[in-house]
Structure 1
Amino acid sequence: MSKQSARAVAWGALKYWDVRGGHLSDVLSRALTGIDMAPNDRRMCQELVFGVVRWQRWLDHVAAGYMTKKPGLPLRNLIRLGAYQLLFMDAAMPVHAAVHETVGVAREVGLGRLSGVTNAVLRKIAASVEDWSNRRRSLETTDPGLALSHPDLLVDRWRSWMPEDRVLALMRANNESAAVFLRINTLRVAPEEAHAALLGEGIPFEGFGRHALVIRLGRGFGVLEDLPGFFDGWFYVQDPSTLEPVDVLDPRPGEKVLDLCSAPGGKTTYMAQMMEDRGEIVAVDVDARRLDRLRQNCERLGVNCVQPLLWDPHADALTDLLDEQRFDAVLVDVPCSNTGVIRRRPEVRWRLEASSWDDLEQTQTRLLQLAADQVRPGGRLVYSTCSVEWEENQGRVEAFLRKQARWRKMDSKLVSGWENGHDSGFYCCLNRD
């Protein structure tokens, strides 16, 4: 195990992500591998990485006021790192520590030549923190993309179908830290027993009133794997927004259910829980590694009714893979833009382009039709996303129904998580005549 400061690891993760992209949580996990770091420092490292990526447009705007030319990648991430501490962690981070320790990162990572300019820029920002905060607040209504650090592409899209106050509420929520929610797995433990065990260990948590099986962990809960009963399958980390599509599908004990795009298994194992692990769930996915995670999750949670199935869409027709079976209920949680989970995955906002939705339209339309083809007469189909985009949600379902005489829309909802402190998404339940 090697020793590195939390700020130096954060700088390395940010530099890696800037060059290679990817899921920010995976990038951070990779950066922390083999590093000997106390839990509090790990939490600080995560706060720095996720915070800088959330606010990078505003941070770059502030820094540009004190620099004569655009900085190179190493310096840019040093300045972002220090500016984030000064502008958004001021209550917990003394000014001298933010400046001094960030300058120290330059030396720690072998970039001592950048310590002078880093020090100069950060000291100028530190002298104007209140002024920058006031400027940002004043810009929220006139230039929300800059003030709330989102690309104008997304702001313009959301303004095209949402009122301005909802757009601003969504953007503000996207810049908050995501809470950690647990689903209590009643195949392993009763909710009362789970609550008592957490209370007995002094774990901070609260019930989530909109769903009886969900609890929200408080700050300082420690390490997930150390929670009582975690390895025994009492809990699954799962946002409440992902439970609603399963609730409306209403899988019942003894039914035959298909979960298309199933890995890593959050919705799959919740369906098994609702079915009391009786019946059959065929869990299909195209990613072998993620399907292995589904198997591991099923084992930990005590789920036995799931049959994982790897599908190569380039080689196998889905109906052939399924032996032309028909199902009582089908869930298709399609690949999407992920704009409903930007709070949890802040990097999403920066990877989307105008052309992103062209490819998604083809994929989502094809998967919805494939899912519909597997439903028996009288059966149920739920289409879901973790997107807030109209054309991926209501628009996709309406286009499907215009071509399908045998299907009726029973229920649909845009899950506006920005109003309730969790992720957002969409579902629509359809019945086949």
Structure 2
Amino acid sequence: MTPAARVQAAIEILDAVIAAAKAGGAPADRVFSEWFRMRRFAGSKDRRAVRDLVYNAIRACGPIPESGRAAMLRLVQGDEALASLFDGGRHAPEPIDPAEPVALGGVAPAWLERALESSGVSGEEALALLDRAPLDVRVNALKAERDGLVLPVEGEPLPARYGLRFPANTPVESWDAYEQGLVEVQDGGSQLTCEAVAALPGETVIDLCAGAGGKTLALAASMAGKGRLVACDVDRARLQRLAPRAERAGAPLIETLLMNPNRELEALADLVGKAEAVLIDAPCSGTGTWRRNPEARWRLSEKELARVTGIQSRLLDIAATLVKPGGRIIFVTCSLLDAEGADQVQAFLRRDSRWQADVLDLPAGQPRGAGVRMTPARDGTDGFFVARLKRV
């Protein structure tokens, strides 16, 4: 592909990404893969170049663009070399008309920028949400120690006890160490939220929103493979992916429990009042993950935010029934909005007097309400809010 053809390809992919975002369709990475699956003439260098153009354009736009071309024109601003490729040649985009629409810049749609600002996230803090993320891994303490583990690439130690950082796109999943379950891909901030659980061998621990089990595996390592660890979710397909991961990690203690939406307590009946710890990695807006999924900010609406905050509130109430006296709830969202963090926890503490906030001593993050917030700008992690609540 010529450089101009790569730009035209990026415009076409952006059109598909924008359409999917408006309709709630496939995420950008899947749209990208599908586009190239139908065009096998493109080589690996073409794919990388087009991918960079697509994601750079997504990051350059705040509100959802009118079109892929408008998004690319936003990226073109100030880049004469890129602008010169709009020459109307074979497989090239048409020449630029000074009067045609150009996508708006910014961090996010206006309402969402205001919500972030009211939550103390603006300026450089907000812009850092659109940086490219590195690749972090967690060394599996059930099988290895971070110090002395030999990997194909030397990693940078993270504040998380078993964390290592590598450049983006490091092929970790092709390593023997990954195949043998010695390492798992997990953001350093996510690892710290698991450390906040302080899970101990012999405890009964519930991961209430386990998904495919990334945090569950970290909890299993903290428990040294001893005790009862129950991974719950309402998504059968995601939960089914945990079993092979647990086998690879050497974590047979993990149980999986499929729940019905809005009827979770029916499946959890035998665990009521028995858990030392319940982790709620709650469904959320995902504002803390934009470095990895920058088009996600085009999918979020005020209605969707209200929906997920309602789920978070209900999950806190469910978790409160599962914990024995003296036990703890660890509430986590990958969001920087107070509505999904400090405000959510404060509302729970007001409505249930049996609970109080516990002090978190993490090697990253800043206090925010009754918990701690980690951000890309300050901590180099994805954005997270985490609070630990103790039943008294």
TM-score for both structures, normalised by structure 1: 0.77
The alpha-carbon distance between structure 1 residues 59 and 426, as it changes in their structure 2 partners (threshold 3 A), is closer
Contact 1:169/1:418 (<8 A) preserved? yes
**Residue in structure 1 matching 2:134, options 165, 176, 179:** 179
More helix by share: 1
Distance 1:299 1:105 in 2: 49
Amino acid at match of 1:214: G
Given that 2:133 and 2:168 are in contact with CA atoms closer than 8 Å, whether structure 1 keeps it comes out as no
Q: Does 1:372 align with 2:320?
A: yes
Is the CA contact 2:74–2:104 (under 8 Å) kept in the aligned structure 1?
A: no
Q: 1:244 to 1:191 in 2, by over 3 A?
A: closer
1:119 to 95, 100, 123: 95
CA contact (8 A) 2:333 2:386 kept: yes
Q: Does 1:242 align with 2:242?
A: no
Does structure 2 retain, via aligned residues, the 8 Å contact 1:319–1:374?
no
Aligned CA distance change for structure 1 residues 351 and 254 (closer, same or farther; 3 Å): same
Matched, 1:152 2:110: yes
Alignment of 1:95-114 (within 5 A): 95=82, 98-99=85-86, 104-105=90-91
Q: How does 1:290-369 map to 2 (within 5 A)?
A: 290-314=238-262, 316-325=263-272, 326-369=274-317
Larger RCO (CA within 8 A; separation ≥ 6): 2
Distance verdict in 2 for CA 1:426–1:214, change over 3 Å: same
Give the Cα separation in 2 of the matches to 1:103 and 1:372. Answer: 64
CA contact (8 A) 1:418 1:424 kept: no
* Cα distance change on mapping 1:9 and 1:232 into 2, 3 Å: farther
Contact 1:58 1:146 in 2 (8 A): yes
1:384 to 327, 332, 353: 332
**Structure 2 segments unaligned to the other structure (5+ residues):** 360-370
| 1:419 counterpart (368, 374, 378) | 378
In 1, Cα distance between the equivalents of 2:228 and 2:35? 40
Residue of structure 1 in register with 2:390 after alignment: 431
SS at structure 2 position matched to 1:291: helix
Distance in 1 (alpha carbons) for counterparts of 2:333 and 2:128: 19
User: What does residue range 19-98 of structure 1 map to in structure 2 within 5 Å?
Assistant: 19-21=19-21, 22-33=26-37, 36=40, 38-57=43-62, 76-78=67-69, 80-81=71-72, 84=75, 86-87=76-77, 94-95=81-82, 98=85
CA apart distance, 1:241: 1.4
Q: What are the superposed Cα offsets for residues 134-164 of structure 1, whole Å, 9 maximum, x if unpaired?
A: xxxxxxxxxxx955342111221222242xx
Contact 2:290 2:297 in 1 (8 A): yes
CA distance in 1: counterparts of 2:89 and 2:258, whole angstroms:
49
2:151 corresponds to which of 197, 200, 206: 197
Q: Which residue identity does 1:153 align to in structure 2?
A: W
- Change beyond 3 A, Cα 1:249–1:20: same
- Does the aligned pair in 2 maintain the 1:185–1:234 contact within 8 Å? yes
In structure 2, the partner of 1:14 is 14
1:208-243 Cα distance to aligned partner (Å, 9 max, x none) = 2x223212212563x333234121112211111112
Q: 2:365 — aligned with what?
A: none
Rounded to whole Å, the distance in 2 between the matches of 1:376 and 1:103 is 70
| SS of aligned partner of 2:177 | coil
CA offsets per residue over residues 264-323 of structure 1, 9 Å max, x none? 211110000111111111100111111122223222222211111111125x44244442
Rounded Cα–Cα distance in structure 2 between residues aligned with 1:49 and 1:295 = 35
Distance, in Å, in 2 between the alignment partners of 1:35 and 1:332 is: 42
Whole-Å Cα distance in 2 between the matches of residues 54 and 235 of structure 1? Answer: 30
- Measured in 1, the distance between the counterparts of 2:109 and 2:17 equals 18
Percent identity, please.
28
- Measure, in 2, the Cα distance between the counterparts of 1:47 and 1:97: 18
Residue 424 to residue 46, structure 1, CA distance change in 2 (3 Å): same
In the alignment, structure 1 segments of 5+ residues that lack a partner are 61-72, 107-114, 126-131, 133-144
Inter-partner Cα distance in structure 2 for 1:29 and 1:187: 35
- Between 1:14-23 and 1:305-314, the stretch displaced more is 14-23
Q: 1:180 to 1:160 in 2, by over 3 A?
A: same
Q: Residues 247 and 231 of structure 1: is their aligned pair in 2 closer, same or farther, counting only changes over 3 Å? A: same
Shift of 1:168: 0.7
Distance 1:405 1:59, change over 3 A: closer
The two structures, once aligned, show a CA RMSD in angstroms of 3.0
Structure 1 residues 252 and 31: CA distance shift in structure 2, 3 A: farther
**1:68 corresponding residue in structure 2:** none
* CA spacing shift, 1:324–1:189, aligned 2, 3 Å: closer
